[in-house]
Structure 1
Amino acid sequence: MATETSGIDWQDAFENALYIPGAERYPPRWQSQAAAFRETWVNADLDVRYGDGERTLLDLFQPQGTPRGLAVFVHGGFWHKFDKSCWSHLAAGALARGWAVAVPGYTLAPQARISQITAQVGMALQVAAARVSGPIRLAGHSAGGHLVTRMACINAPLTPSVAARIDKITSISGVHDLRPLRLHRMNDVLNLDAAEARAESPALRDPRPDMRLTAWVGGNERPEFLRQTALLTEAWQEGINSCQRVIENDRNHFDVIDGLVSADHALTEAFVG
């Protein structure tokens, strides 16, 4: 009996850094830019606790004047890398447009399963939403793209009142079908089983119908991230208020987030426009 395989090298499919020139320079650059931003933006509440874990803290940056609403950025790192302190500068564009911006941290794998991280992001949203009134807009990068689209699902771990305030999601290079991750060596850290991979995959869940989605991805990204972006928009296009896919030319998985620092960039427009 013949056995058919997909022919996909799943180890290579998610290896972003191997295909980005100077990839090793990005993390220290992010940390430096984020630290400089926190030093200069004085209207901020740092390390607001929303849970019992060491990393269950969020930073809340306030604009000048009354906020137009709450914008939330959730960081990536395949659920097991980085923390909120690397990304503060990405609040700049939304703040310039008058939005308060929350940047939550969360417990990293393997100390937390992905389903637990999903629950923590829901808790962070509840706490941030209690501090800022008005509409809520979510953006997340890579694993953060997964986490914010999970918040758009009907079964998101949110109270009905907070869920109803979320009207727009921007997933940047998100992972929306987790099942291939079980075939990657990182699953030694994530410990995804088949049931959790399905349950936590936004592309396999029903979205709230009143949601607007932008799935954003760089044109120079690995084919798997282009596929994951297309997969979500195809799965959700008939189930939500509006759904669009944007491929930003000449951007890779690491620099695709850079637009968030500018108020007039199209990515910031997608986030809070």
Structure 2
Amino acid sequence: MKLYRGMNRQELDAAYHNSGRVADFPGLMRDFRARSQAFHAAQNGRRDLRYGPGARQTYDWFSCGRADAPVFVFIHGGYWQSCAKEDFAFCAQGPLAHGHDVVLAEYTLAPQASMTQIVAEIGQLLDHLAATGAGRLCLAGHSAGGHLAAMHRGHSAVGSVLTISGLFELEPIALGQLNDKLRLTAAEIAACSPQRHIGAGAPMLVAVGAEELPELIRQSGDYAAACRRAGQRAALLHVPGCDHFRVLDDLADPNGAQWAALARLAG
């Protein structure tokens, strides 16, 4: 039975199976974690600061050494149900080199938390950072983190947004195996799909790997186009030579395509 854009459940699962596109996904994650451990060993950051009482309501803060530095907030992916901020700490190298302090955000995963709760936790983090004087934020996220960043582009503390390989329409997620833990309700699909709620918000770069799965490329393109139709500043970048995971190498590289595009977005 066709469920979404001419795809049945098996085809939908394949269309969003990012790790299946990688020849050695466990090896890739080992590499990410090793690089992140080396980053932590070289940095004197503040780890596991709290923005709420929950076990995973924490964040890490790394300073670039400037007293007035803007703050780059990075939300990790994992389809809202796996991974941790420690897995992707190496990504902080790019924003640090560009004179940003970096916040690595954590949040409660499904099924312990619903999508509604996860979205609310990121809002709670942003409120906390604003209350502590962090100033205007560049809010960034990868994959599920890109979805969470897009959900909060209208927050008063957010000055710019970078979504990387994000998910902006939750309907296809709810129709496949990814929903086994998420348990999305119809109300959550409607309320938590950024594609359906495009209002006033911060200027945004919508980045996606040029070699990603077609559905991920389509979602980013559709969202950026809808934002522009609504009169919002939204640039679309297909990051050359990158799949869903290697796009993070580009973010970690101070000379990466995403940094050049962010500079253009800033004017």
TM-score by length of 1: 0.89
Q: CA deviation at 1:85?
A: 0.9
When structure 1 is superposed on structure 2, of 19-28 and 102-111 the one drifting more is 19-28
Quick one: distance in 2 between partners of 1:224 and 1:6? 10
Secondary structure class of the residue paired with 1:36: helix
Any conservation in 2 of the 1:45–1:60 contact (CA below 8 Å)? yes
Shift of the 37–242 alpha-carbon distance from structure 1 to 2, 3 Å rule, reads: same
Secondary structure class of the residue paired with 1:164: coil
Which residue number corresponds to residue 249 of structure 1?
240
Shift of the 5–86 alpha-carbon distance from structure 1 to 2, 3 Å rule, reads: closer
Secondary structure class of the residue paired with 2:177: coil
Letter in 1 for 2:76: H
Q: CA deviation at 1:132?
A: 4.6
Quick one: distance in 2 between partners of 1:133 and 1:29? 31
When structure 1 is superposed on structure 2, of 125-134 and 221-230 the one drifting more is 125-134
**Equivalent residue runs for 1:93-112 within 5 Å:** 93-112=94-113
Any conservation in 2 of the 1:138–1:271 contact (CA below 8 Å)? no
Q: Does 1:167 align with 2:169?
A: no
Secondary structure class of the residue paired with 1:138: strand
Task: List gaps (5 residues or longer) in structure 1.
Answer: 154-162
Task: List gaps (5 residues or longer) in structure 2.
Answer: none
Quick one: distance in 1 between partners of 2:151 and 2:235? 17
Letter in 1 for 2:168: H
Secondary structure class of the residue paired with 1:112: coil
Q: Percent identity, aligned pairs only?
A: 32
Any conservation in 1 of the 2:239–2:258 contact (CA below 8 Å)? no
Which residue number corresponds to residue 149 of structure 2?
148
Question: Which deviations, in whole Å up to 9, do the C-alpha atoms of 1:88-129 show, x marking residues without a partner?
Answer: 111111111211110111000000011111111111122233
Any conservation in 2 of the 1:70–1:129 contact (CA below 8 Å)? no
Quick one: distance in 2 between partners of 1:117 and 1:89? 24
Choose from 19, 36, 39 the match for 1:37: 39
TM-score by length of 2: 0.91
Quick one: distance in 1 between partners of 2:205 and 2:134? 23
Shift of the 19–67 alpha-carbon distance from structure 1 to 2, 3 Å rule, reads: same
Q: CA deviation at 1:271?
A: 5.0
Q: Does 1:191 align with 2:193?
A: no
Letter in 2 for 1:25: G
Any conservation in 1 of the 2:3–2:175 contact (CA below 8 Å)? no
Choose from 12, 17, 20 the match for 2:19: 17
Which residue number corresponds to residue 124 of structure 2?
123
Q: CA deviation at 1:33?
A: 1.0
Quick one: distance in 2 between partners of 1:172 and 1:141? 5
When structure 1 is superposed on structure 2, of 96-105 and 62-71 the one drifting more is 62-71
Shift of the 106–240 alpha-carbon distance from structure 1 to 2, 3 Å rule, reads: farther
Choose from 158, 161, 169 the match for 1:177: 169
Alpha-carbon RMSD across the aligned residues, in angstroms, is 1.8
Number of matched residues? 260
Q: CA deviation at 1:263?
A: 2.0
Which residue number corresponds to residue 205 of structure 2?
214
